[in-house]
Amino acid sequence: MKKIQLLLPFLFISFLLQAQEKYTISGYVKSASTGEELIGATVAARAISVGTSANVYGFYSLTLEKGTYEITYSFIGYEEITKNIVLDDNKQLNVELAEQVNELEVVEIDGERDEANIKSVEMSVNKIDSKTIKKIPALLGEADVIKSVLLLPGVSTVGEGSTGFNVRGGGIDQNLVLLDEAPVYNSSHLFGFFSVFNPDAVKNVKLIKGGIAPEYGGRLSSILDIRMKEGNKKEFTGSGGVGAIFSRLSLEGPIKKDKASFLIAGRRSYADILARPFLNDNLSGSRFYFYDLTAKVNYEIDPKNRLFLSGYFGRDVFGSGFLFNWGNATGTARWNHIFNDKLFMNLTAFYSDYDYAFGVEGDGEDDFDWSSSIVSYSVKPDFSYYINNNNTLKFGGQSIYYNFKPAVAEFISDGQTNSLSLPEKFGIENGLYIQNERQIGSRISLLYGIRWSHFAFLGEGAKQVYRDTIPGIRKDLESSTEFDQNEVIADYNNFEPRLSIKYDVDEFSSVKASFNRMSQYLHLISNTVASTPVDLWLPTTNNLEPQIADQVAVGYFRNFSKNKYEASVELFAKDFQNQIDYIDNADIFFNEQLEGDLLSGDGRAFGIELFVKKRTGPLTGWVSYTLSRSERQVEGINRGDWYPTRFDRTHNLSVVGSYEYNPKWSFSANFVYSSGTPATFPTNRYEIQGVILPHNIDQARNNYRIPAYHRLDISATLTPQNREDKKIKGEWVFSVYNVYNRRNPFSIFFDQNENNPQVTEAIRFAVVGSFVPAVSYNFTF
């Protein structure tokens, strides 16, 4: 570690010495039709084989020796433009590219420059754009960001209908899900059947599983970076749809042409509205719906300053007599500032809140209300310094202040009120990073850097100390010391070195390798198979240490047929520390001494991922196969031996295909196969008060596997060919989920027979037990 710290300044200084007479051309690359920035657009002086790509805000900076150049701006799906540039001074040039017209030819699925798979130093990264997400056949025809991510290599889930996803052996809380840079703590509607991101508002989605750059931190296993559209700067447009679950509407347009635009997108489920006429008076009081609203405005103050404001608000509401709701709210403000041709800054400030509440519909005499929340506030400056064409330096930092309210509850019983709450918890997470992406010669690229992260568990609160006991048994509280507001109760520092290397084998292939250390200071406390909306997020404390993971990945990347096909093979190995588990029968729901019920252990995961993607043409799609293992070792569980995690799936195959038959019809299908997840089965039974209880005499965890999961979904899209001048364009999507009607087991559990309680049975629980057809209608205007 020390060595790396010493080495870094030298590496950064070395390229500052190569000064010659050089000038920089910089600016933004945008779409001519909508004004949206084109993330990753290529800017190249082809004659001398020098190029760069636009960053996530569409900004590029290219430094060349004094001279005259033909500079080509290109982006897949757009007509390329070549500009003749006399570079005798630093220049600023914003370029707009026109969309290609022949739609069949330009179908592409990742919004990525052609050679990115092999040329970029990034590895273990998958990108999907919203067009692709919308093509994948989905449950009830609802295009879904998270469900699309599940089809990527290295990603698994405990089962259908569960919230979140697992990346390379990591828990669902180890994914940093960012919506316009604000973290989303619970990404699901309806317990996990749908995710909270409205595909109409999403621009693109990037999943980073390994080789994670120092600019990212805070979670162990992945970054899911979701970027919202900016809103059309040229004209007013809208889109929407009517489906089996949601109806959607989004509007976007210029506030001030080419300067400012807005986007607003909303969805609401309407099972309740459809059902209402069929329910009698009493049932009509019941509520079950969910909605989300996404809004964004951006304003180009001047060529050097741009401002973005975006927000998300969504909520699920269920109840009849007993009410339950949960949801996220996020708000992000960003300021892009260009200091000069080489120095770009993005300053983000965000607010993110997740909360849930439930209670009975009381009458004043009798009532019961409960709520819980996690709120975070953050400031995050990020700088990109385009030193020269071989070095791009990024540095920045982040501070996040957290406020946890585990429970605020009030009871009224027979007119008597009592409120009780678990104490609030506070914490601050800080990070500083520096990284350089360096090109060495024509074949080698390096991305190296380090992130320093720090977490302080702050007052006002108590430092609880627990007595040691036999692992697996509840720890008793030994002492509790009160701390004042903002007093540090416990704090931790971690240095996280990161390194990625790419070597071009030839024009069509490269090998890459990476190492990353990640640390995580937030923990999702959940001991159920699928996470529930009432699961708590807790900070690192004096008892709960930060989670740490080290990952090594190597891969071979190759493109075929003029970048029409991309292929990769990656191997990864991961080592986890301070993984949370729970004592048997832990009480995690309302427990002031929760930490006495928590266990800590190690984890490991390793695997191989194969990925082949066809990016362009009438037929697009991918095949992804992962062979992996994910395990934990925790004293007090499984006699202290290693055991597979609940989401360990040995084989995991996804085949995703989409075929544009003609302008009127297109077809899509996907097939998934994955090994059954591990489960704990009993060995014995015994009887207490007439109840038959299961017992496992070996105290084993996850000693069996449930049967494999496989499923085929298909869809057909009909786009009626209207007259050219008609502004509203529509399409019908017909889909069938789980075509061959398989009852995929989510779990197997054991219970007494209803008619003969002496008979015990193994019961297969399938979340979706039949095929699910759906029709939806989408439109744009």
Using CB under 8 A as the binding rule, the residues of this chain from 618 to 647 that contact other proteins are 646
Instruction: Find the largest Cα–Cα distance for the chain.
Output: 91
**Strand order, beta sheet including 81-87:** 50-53, 42-45, 67-74, 81-87
Under the criterion CB under 8 A, does residue 718 sit at the interface with other proteins? Answer: no
Q: Tokens 């609030």 sit at which residue?
A: 424
Nearer Cβ to other proteins (440/763): 763
Q: How far is the CB of 402 from other proteins (least distance, A)?
A: 24
Stretch that binds other proteins, among 63-71, 118-126, 154-162, 303-311 (CB under 8 A): 154-162
Under the criterion CB under 8 A, does residue 528 sit at the interface with other proteins? Answer: yes
CA angle 753, 756, 759 (to 5 degrees): 60
53, 45 Cβ separation under 8 angstroms: no
Nearest to 57 by CA among 40, 77, 42: 40
The CA distance from 395 to 683, in Å, is: 56
544, 522 Cβ separation under 8 angstroms: no
Which residues ranging from 243 to 282 are in contact with other proteins (CB under 8 A)?
280, 282
Print the binding letters for residues 308-327 with other proteins: x by CB under 8 A, - otherwise: ----------xxxxx-x---
Q: Which two three-digit tokens encode residue 403?
A: 């406020």
Under the criterion CB under 8 A, does residue 762 sit at the interface with other proteins? Answer: yes
Print the binding letters for residues 155-174 with other proteins: x by CB under 8 A, - otherwise: ----x-xx------------
541, 600 Cβ separation under 8 angstroms: no
Under the criterion CB under 8 A, does residue 452 sit at the interface with other proteins? Answer: no
Q: How far is the CB of 620 from other proteins (least distance, A)?
A: 31
Cis previous bond, 566, omega within 30: no
Under the criterion CB under 8 A, does residue 746 sit at the interface with other proteins? Answer: yes
Backbone angles phi, psi at 133, to 5 degrees: -55, -40
| Of the candidate residues 366, 476, 478, 482, the single one contacting other proteins (CB under 8 A) | 366
The CA distance from 716 to 66, in Å, is: 54
Checking DSSP bridges between strand 91-92 and strand 22-31, what pairing results, if any? parallel
Stretch that binds other proteins, among 56-64, 212-220, 528-536, 656-664 (CB under 8 A): 528-536
Task: Output DSSP code: residue 270.
Answer: -
773, 752 Cβ separation under 8 angstroms: no
Under the criterion CB under 8 A, does residue 471 sit at the interface with other proteins? Answer: no
For residue 537, give every residue at least 6 positions away whose Cβ sits within 8 Å of its Cβ, in sequence order, or none.
173, 185, 354, 374, 404, 522, 523, 524, 525
Q: How far is the CB of 234 from other proteins (least distance, A)?
A: 42
Q: Which H/E stretch holds residue 542?
A: none
| Of the candidate residues 237, 509, 532, 577, the single one contacting other proteins (CB under 8 A) | 532
Q: How many CA atoms lie within 13 A of 178 on its CB side?
A: 22
| Of the candidate residues 146, 172, 190, 264, the single one contacting other proteins (CB under 8 A) | 190
Which residues ranging from 685 to 704 are in contact with other proteins (CB under 8 A)?
685-699, 701-704
106, 89 Cβ separation under 8 angstroms: no
How many residues at the interface with other proteins, by CB under 8 A?
94
Nearer Cβ to other proteins (37/595): 595
Under the criterion CB under 8 A, does residue 768 sit at the interface with other proteins? Answer: yes
Per-residue DSSP letters for 162-173?
-SS-EETT--GG
Under the criterion CB under 8 A, does residue 424 sit at the interface with other proteins? Answer: no
For residue 459, give every residue at least 6 positions away whose Cβ sits within 8 Å of its Cβ, in sequence order, or none.
426, 482, 483, 484, 485, 486, 487, 488, 489
Stretch that binds other proteins, among 230-238, 306-314, 611-619, 757-765 (CB under 8 A): 757-765
Nearer Cβ to other proteins (359/431): 359
| Of the candidate residues 766, 773, 777, 780, the single one contacting other proteins (CB under 8 A) | 766
| Of the candidate residues 299, 556, 765, 777, the single one contacting other proteins (CB under 8 A) | 765
Nearer Cβ to other proteins (274/718): 274
Q: How far is the CB of 592 from other proteins (least distance, A)?
A: 8
Print the binding letters for residues 392-411 with other proteins: x by CB under 8 A, - otherwise: -----------------x-x
Q: How far is the CB of 691 from other proteins (least distance, A)?
A: 4
Q: Which two three-digit tokens encode residue 582?
A: 């729970």
| Of the candidate residues 368, 383, 483, 495, the single one contacting other proteins (CB under 8 A) | 368
Which residues ranging from 41 to 60 are in contact with other proteins (CB under 8 A)?
none
| Of the candidate residues 360, 432, 477, 708, the single one contacting other proteins (CB under 8 A) | 360
Nearer Cβ to other proteins (10/686): 686
Q: Tokens 């790419």 sit at which residue?
A: 502
Under the criterion CB under 8 A, does residue 758 sit at the interface with other proteins? Answer: yes
| Of the candidate residues 99, 491, 504, 587, the single one contacting other proteins (CB under 8 A) | 587
The CA distance from 130 to 145, in Å, is: 8
Which residues ranging from 83 to 112 are in contact with other proteins (CB under 8 A)?
none
Nearer Cβ to other proteins (495/771): 771
Under the criterion CB under 8 A, does residue 680 sit at the interface with other proteins? Answer: yes
The CA distance from 496 to 153, in Å, is: 25
Q: Which two three-digit tokens encode residue 338?
A: 């260009």
Nearest to 649 by CA among 161, 158, 150, 221: 158
